[in-house]
Amino acid sequence: MRFTGRRGGASSGPYRSLNLDSWGDDDPQAVRDNRTVLAGYADVGPERIAQARQVHATDVLQIADDADLPGADLGRVRDADGTATALPRTPCVVLCADCVPVALVAGRGVAMVHAGWRGLAAGVLESGLRALDAVCSGSGPVTAAIGPSAGPCCYEVGDEVHAALAGTGSSAASAPRVGGHADLWAAARARLRAAGVEHVLTAGECTICAPDDYFSYRRDAGTTGRQAGMAWLR
Ligand SMILES: [Zn+2]
């Protein structure tokens, strides 16, 4: 798996430089070049990227064969907040700029899930685990990795977000509230552990406090790029 930052790409201005969002306002050729860089990390071409258009809901697509592949690079658009596959050389990708990219890795399958506070509260991680199980049933325990995203240091939210996250996991205490700040990483860990995932890694990198390293929708008031979470089988 790999979580990207903003360095090492072809885009400029607010999208400097490894912006991977095909549906934004960045220069399309720069984004294509950047997506070739992304796919290259998995040693494939961008047409192999399994990525849906994210809608802050809970569907996670099962990619059972090449005909299921969604992706901007193929001109195929499907709405979902993650993908799961047991196909080799088919990287599952989500894009984020503060929301939480979560990789789920089992013995013979992988999934990537896009989890903002709405998705976390609605059960997108559990949906990702079900999709992963469906594509590679019985392939052993799942390891999860929580990528760079809005951290508890910076993620100040209103009461409705605290209320939604307090309903996640086994108890309100599982999504700690630090003043007006919410802890999406703790909320994600609580949901994963409640679903039986014992091994959860957390990058602990906050996108909002690292302007040289990460895109942040909140810090940049919406005009910014997107970094990726990517999980794949060789
Ligand atoms: Zn921060």
Q: Give 92 Cα–ligand 1 centroid separation in angstroms.
A: 27
The pTM (predicted TM-score) of the whole model is: 0.95
Per-residue pLDDT tens for 97-150? 999 999 999 999 999 999 999 999 999 999 999 999 999 987 889 999 999 999
Please check the confidence at residue 171 and state whether its pLDDT lies above 90.
no
Q: pLDDT band for 172, please (50, 70, 90 cuts).
A: very low
Rounded CA separation 166/121 (Å) = 9
Q: Give 184 Cα–ligand 1 centroid separation in angstroms.
A: 12
Alpha helices in 42-149 (DSSP H): 117-122, 124-135
User: What value does the mean pLDDT of the chain take?
Assistant: 93
Q: Give 33 Cα–ligand 1 centroid separation in angstroms.
A: 29
Average pLDDT over residues 38-45: 97
User: Cβ of 56: how many Cβ atoms within 10 Å?
Assistant: 14
User: How many CA within 13 A on the CB side of residue 50?
Assistant: 30
> What pLDDT, on the 0 to 100 scale, is given for residue 74?
81
> What pLDDT, on the 0 to 100 scale, is given for residue 166?
85
Q: Give 181 Cα–ligand 1 centroid separation in angstroms.
A: 10
Per-residue pLDDT tens for 190-205? 999 999 999 999 999 9
Pick the CATH number of 2-139+206-231 from 3.40.50.720, 3.60.140.10, 3.10.105.10, 3.40.50.970: 3.60.140.10
* Tokens coding 98: 């503060």
Query: Which one-letter amino acid corresponds to residue 146?
Result: I
> What pLDDT, on the 0 to 100 scale, is given for residue 216?
98
> What pLDDT, on the 0 to 100 scale, is given for residue 178?
67
Percent with pLDDT over 90 in the chain: 85
> What pLDDT, on the 0 to 100 scale, is given for residue 128?
98
